[in-house]
Amino acid sequence: MSGFVSLVGAGPGNPELLTVLAKRRLAEADVVVYDRLINSALLMPLTAELINVGKQPEHHRVSQYQINQLLVKLARQGKRVIRLKSGDPDVFGRGGEESQFLHAAGVDFEVVPGITSAIAGLAAAGIPITHREFASSFHVITGHHKAGGHQLNWENIAHQEGTLVFLMGMKELGEITHQLINHGRPKTTPVAVIQWATHWKQRAVRADLDTIETVVNQHGLGAPALIVVGKVVSLMPELALTKPLAGRHLLMPFKESSKLFANLQDQGAAVAFFKRRQNLALDFDWPQIQPGTLIVTSPTAFTFFERRLLAAGYDHRWLSDWRLLAANQLTVKALKARGISADGLYEPNQLARSVASSVMIGEAADLKRTTDFKGQKIATYRAVAVPQPIELSQFHGVIFPSSPAVDDLLNGCQPEQITQLADLPCFVMGRRIFEKCLTAGLQRVILVPSQIDKVPAAIEAYFKANAGSVRVSCEEINRERSISN
């Protein structure tokens, strides 16, 4: 049985710069073999097996030959394999080499192009790679060469008209500028270096061929970065746009097709996800009472209740004689989406006379902690914490749209992560979530509107008002995001 390999370009870094076909291939995959610079937000929704074969400068986790062999092995197991690469697979990504190896091994494959950073990275810093008045052509050159391999023809490169873009060349920046000047490029030629293009920690500096290395060293830029040489660089001050949340790295719970994610990204934030709990269905007996009051604590609780209802041969008509109360507005909306109108919100003091005929459904551990309800409790599911492999020091803030989301993150964190989280601004979309965070020991809890479209502005206002109190590490990363000399 033969599988299929897709060599997929993930784009320059921003998870929304993924092609439609690439997104579909990832959703269909059995296994994803991915590189070091892949944005974790691309991997979060996947159900496929994930294999990290990322290479770092001077250190290869897995050799290229081993990667080639792995792709063939997985394909011959009948799997749909994704080889996920930064940018475009065939732009200095060894996609051509891997294609040759797969062809020679008789493995079916395809190449799914991606947006290369050689173009998108420049645009992100306000540099059009071509312009009628400045550059009618461009040339993309690798600054990294195979040991003992062919060296660059500097005489030819230096006299090319148009824009020169060097990828993987930061280690050779001094040599690149030296060779261009020695072979005839004017010392005053505009040059830009863009680090982490389209990522939250993007930074850019601008100088000329004679001084760019000094400027880069002054500002501490390093790999991964693009080196851009040409007149188009002069447009950078004019065209580099800054959105309100540019340079802010925010964490939120994963949700497929999240409107909040889209709104934050549109305002310039880079958004990553933490994993939600794993919910396991529980067997439970039907309420041992006549129709009374059913209290639904969450949409998830009702989902598992509904599944059991349908499996037993009943439908929503079984609830027609019950009074239905929701624990919060989120649950009200979820019920309405199912065609069910809640009779109101659950208020403990209103059930004093009818508690004997009241049933509360929810998560097992949450129901045990609910001491203000004396009626019948039915656990429809059990939540299992999922480990959170997140470096929280790399974030400016975390967003909690619900109380369960707080538990999901806290329960999956190690003690050192909890310590980091305690000092991180936590933006909460409701009073109950606010109180839960304080009870959990989080120290910087900020109440923001529950309306999704108002959250970005509230977060922006917080950072403006507290510019001096943001963690130093984040300040240093963002202070020089767009530097122009």
Q: Does the active-site annotation cover 35?
A: yes
| Tokens 């195979």 belong to residue | 146
Distance CA 82, CA 60 (A): 20
Query: Which tokens is 436 given?
Result: 């839960």
Is the distance from CB of 290 to CB of 357 less than 8 angstroms? Answer: yes
- Structure tokens belonging to residue 159: 């006299």
Copy the structure tokens of residue 360.
Answer: 């509360």
| Catalytic one of 23, 30, 55, 374 | 55
User: How far is the CA of 455 from the CAs of 126, 261, 263, 449, 459, in angstroms?
Assistant: 27, 11, 9, 6, 6
Residues that are catalytic: 35, 55
